[in-house]
Amino acid sequence: MIEGSISNRIRVLRFHSGEMSQAELGQRIGFTRQTIAAIEAGKYSPSLEAAFRIAHVFNVPLDEVFQWDVKVPH
Amino acid sequence: MPYREKTAWLSLLAMIVTFGPYFTTIAIRALPSEPMPNLHQLGLFAVTAIVQMLILGVGHLYLRRRSTQEARMPLDERDQAIMRRSFSSAYYVLIAGMIAVGCVMPFKSSGWSIINAALFMIIAAEVVHYGVVVFSYRRQA
């Protein structure tokens, strides 16, 4: 199985959207502030639908928000 | 701390504070030798249940007033995932307990011992349920 980890640029995108707060982003996609904080910190991976919603809020493609970093086996 | 985690802490603490002393009392005292064991048992259970309801009622009111907006929000997908995980963990505890109480205990015990054992397993399952909720929120905090 291919190993990897998901990273995201939500913090940067929030900054570029007029320092949007986690609570505001959460409100717009129906999540709590704590869930946004968990996603941002990489402690929770959202569903595909939620990921699309986040990308839609920032008006960017999905891969500008989430990246999958493949672990190369030695 | 999320509102759901606070309510889970509240439920966990309410159960430990009320049913902890209840089961300790039952374990220490030899109830069948008393003149009216049923009345004593029912009284003890009623007091425990009422105290638990009071703690939960007051606690929920307090938490709801402190975070009105969050309390009104429906569960998001992370909350739902945590709930699913906690319910499935608690289910295994409950089913194992019910098998022990319903299939094994009738051969060795009777009466209040069986009722209290069943009650203990229900409380144990609830503790696991809220424990998993708290643990999951803490891990992702």
Which residues in chain A have their CB less than 8 angstroms from residue B1's CB? 34
Structure tokens at B113: 């011992």
**Backbone φ, ψ for residue B111 (5° rounding):** 55, -130
What is the four-CA torsion angle of A47, A49, A54, A59, rounded to 10 degrees?
A: 150
Asked if the model's pLDDT at residue A52 lies above 90, the reply is yes
Residue B76: closest CA among chain A residues belongs to which residue? A31
Residues of B in contact with A43 (CB under 8 A): 139-141
Q: Measured between CA atoms, how close is A24 to chain B, in angstroms?
A: 13
* Residue B141 contacts A, CB cutoff 8 Å: yes
pTM of the model: 0.81
Q: Terminal CA-to-CA distance of chain B, rounded, Å?
A: 8
Nearest Cα of chain B lies from the Cα of A61 at a distance, in angstroms, of 22
Q: Choose the closest CB to B140 out of A31, A44, A50.
A: A44
Integer Cα distance of A46 and A63 in angstroms:
14
pLDDT at B127: 95
- Output the six-digit token pair for B106: 């009738």
Residues forming a β-bridge with A4: A70
**pLDDT for the residue numbered B54:** 96
The predicted-structure confidence for B2-58, as pLDDT tens digits, reads as follows 888 999 999 999 999 999 999 998 888 765 556 666 788 888 899 999 999 999 999
DSSP B26-65: HHHS-GGGSS-HHHHHHHHHHHHHHHHHHHHHHHHHHHHH
First-to-last alpha carbon distance for chain A, in angstroms, is: 14
pLDDT tens-digit readout, B85-118: 999 999 999 999 999 888 888 888 778 888 889 9
Interface test mutation site (partner B, options A27, A29, A34, max chain B beta carbons within 10 A):
A34
**pLDDT digit string (tens) for B126-137?**
999 999 999 999
- The interface pTM score, or ipTM, of the predicted complex is 0.80
Residue-wise pLDDT tens digits, B51-82? 999 999 999 999 998 888 778 888 899 999 99
Say how far residue A64 (Cα) sits from the centre of its chain.
Answer: 9
Select the residue of B1, B78, B139 nearest A35 (Cβ to Cβ): B78
Q: Exposed e or buried b for every residue in B29-57, given b needs 16+ CB within 10 A?
A: eebeeeeeeeeebeebbeebeebbeebbe
Q: Judge: B79–A32 Cβ closer than 8 Å, yes or no.
A: yes
